[in-house]
Amino acid sequence: MSETFAALDVASRQYRLLDALDPAGVDGLLVTTLTNVRYLTGFTGSAGIVALTSTGTTLVTDGRYRTQAAEQVAAVGLADHVTIVIGGAEAQREALQAALDGADRVGLEADHVTWAQATAWEERLGRPPVATSGLVEELRAIKDAGEIDRMRHAAQIADAALGEVLPLLSRAGIDPISESTFALALDSAMRRRGAESVAFETIVAAGENSAKPHHHPSDRLIAMGDPVVVDFGATFEGYRSDMTRTFCVGGQPTGALKEIFDLVATSQAAGVAAVQPGVSAGSIDDVCRGVIVEGGMGERFEHSTGHGVGLDIHELPWVASQGTAILEAGTVVTVEPGVYVAGVGGVRIEDTLVVTSSGAEPLTRFTKEVAA
């Protein structure tokens, strides 16, 4: 692969996190969420904790990751900035305790720590930890150029994979294929094109199943005239894409189904057009929901309009009614209104967009042509 990507600016993340500590009422932070550990250090192992204070950053993990941790921290340019301690559970706790020695108020990631863990840390540190929420997650909501390059590439992999397997849907009327077989073909096409994994479990929902927003692909055969919701994404170097297209097998939809397709397409286009710097996430939900309410289907749009995407498939900001986060350049959000009518079918259309200084760039670019 000849494509080159901008470097990930990992070092500046730690400085921005340090700036966020005082407003959160802490002078040290224990980062126990693995995705956040990765974001701050480049380390992708399945076990690891970071202690961060103004005097330094310590990463602890166990012997399985001795080489990997050193390599990954060096790869993001932090070999001189992050102290890596390898050892068993007790040695790790001692190292973290020592790293936090000068911090009177140690924050824990309250959204991800159990009661038992918080109690154990209080005993270990000899002082009560402070509950913090979303400190790293709020930094993650704004992507740097290297992150956007990787997300764009993940989206390109997904677009190309769908293009490759779409003929299987077009032929489904004469050459039957099940939801799960189509999902498997799509997943393997993404892997062959360089995805390290799927971004989440692929949704393929045909006919009556399309009315269930998060249907699990089954052995139901896809038939002529079926609406088919395909919601999927690729992961590339940790970064995920997310896209939904709804097709109609064998031609254009008719009747009540056509009305749903048209309404969701109008709603989604309006939402995409509204994504720009300076607007609230909630206003995107208002725009999409307004079109569907106007079309008399408000109570059939039962989920929020979208979400942030990045190292996690669902992350800040939430694109939901009352969402107060303000979009700014580097924010990545999905716009995915849907209408689901039991007995008729469901339609969802979703794109992932990155907010730019003047508007938004869609990362997912697959055609919205309905006829498959």
| Cα distance from N-terminal residue to C-terminal residue, the chain | 31
Please tell me the distance from the alpha carbon of residue 66 to that of residue 50, in angstroms, as a whole number.
Answer: 15
> DSSP string covering 48-115, please?
-EEEEETTEEEEEE-GGGHHHHHHHHHHTT-TTTEEEEE--HHHHHHHHHHHTTT-SSEEEETTT--H
334 scored as a contact of Zn ion (CB under 5 A): yes
Query: Minimal distance in Å, beta carbon 232 to Zn ion?
Result: 7
Query: Minimal distance in Å, beta carbon 114 to Zn ion?
Result: 28
Footprint of Zn ion on 189-208 (CB under 5 A): none
Contact 134, 111 (CB under 8 A): yes
Contact 230, 336 (CB under 8 A): no
Query: Minimal distance in Å, beta carbon 196 to Zn ion?
Result: 18
Query: Minimal distance in Å, beta carbon 166 to Zn ion?
Result: 17
Contact 338, 348 (CB under 8 A): yes
Tell me the number of residues near Zn ion by CB under 5 A.
Answer: 5
* Smaller CB separation from Zn ion, 35 or 334: 334
* Smaller CB separation from Zn ion, 36 or 334: 334
Q: Taking contact as CB under 5 A, which single stretch among the options 121-129, 228-236, 245-253, 279-287 is the one that binds Zn ion? A: 228-236
Query: Minimal distance in Å, beta carbon 152 to Zn ion?
Result: 17
Please tell me the distance from the alpha carbon of residue 15 to that of residue 34, in angstroms, as a whole number.
Answer: 19
35 scored as a contact of Zn ion (CB under 5 A): no
Q: Token pair of 55, please?
A: 């005097």
Query: Minimal distance in Å, beta carbon 334 to Zn ion?
Result: 4
Other CB atoms within 10 Å distance of the CB of residue 118: 14
Residue with the two structure tokens 């350049």: 329
Q: Token pair of 126, please?
A: 């000899």
Query: Minimal distance in Å, beta carbon 231 to Zn ion?
Result: 4
| Pairing between β-strand 49-53 and β-strand 56-61 as defined by DSSP bridges | antiparallel
Q: Taking contact as CB under 5 A, which single stretch among the options 89-97, 229-237, 354-362, 364-372 is the one that binds Zn ion? A: 229-237
Footprint of Zn ion on 238-267 (CB under 5 A): 242, 244
Given 27, 137, 159, 231, the residue binding Zn ion (CB under 5 A): 231
Cα torsion at 188, 189, 190, 191 (round to 10°)?
50
Closest CA to 9 of 150, 194, 198, 195: 150
- Which residues neighbour 330 within 8 Å (Cβ) at sequence distance 6 or greater? 142, 143, 144, 148, 354, 355
Please tell me the distance from the alpha carbon of residue 218 to that of residue 78, in angstroms, as a whole number.
Answer: 46
* Smaller CB separation from Zn ion, 37 or 169: 169
* Smaller CB separation from Zn ion, 242 or 259: 242
147 scored as a contact of Zn ion (CB under 5 A): no
* Smaller CB separation from Zn ion, 231 or 259: 231
Please tell me the distance from the alpha carbon of residue 95 to that of residue 27, in angstroms, as a whole number.
Answer: 17
* Smaller CB separation from Zn ion, 50 or 311: 311
Query: Minimal distance in Å, beta carbon 348 to Zn ion?
Result: 8
* Smaller CB separation from Zn ion, 95 or 189: 189
Q: Taking contact as CB under 5 A, which single stretch among the options 10-18, 249-257, 268-276, 333-341 is the one that binds Zn ion? A: 333-341
* Smaller CB separation from Zn ion, 72 or 246: 246
* Smaller CB separation from Zn ion, 113 or 264: 264
The binding site for Zn ion (CB under 5 A) comprises 231, 242, 244, 334, 350
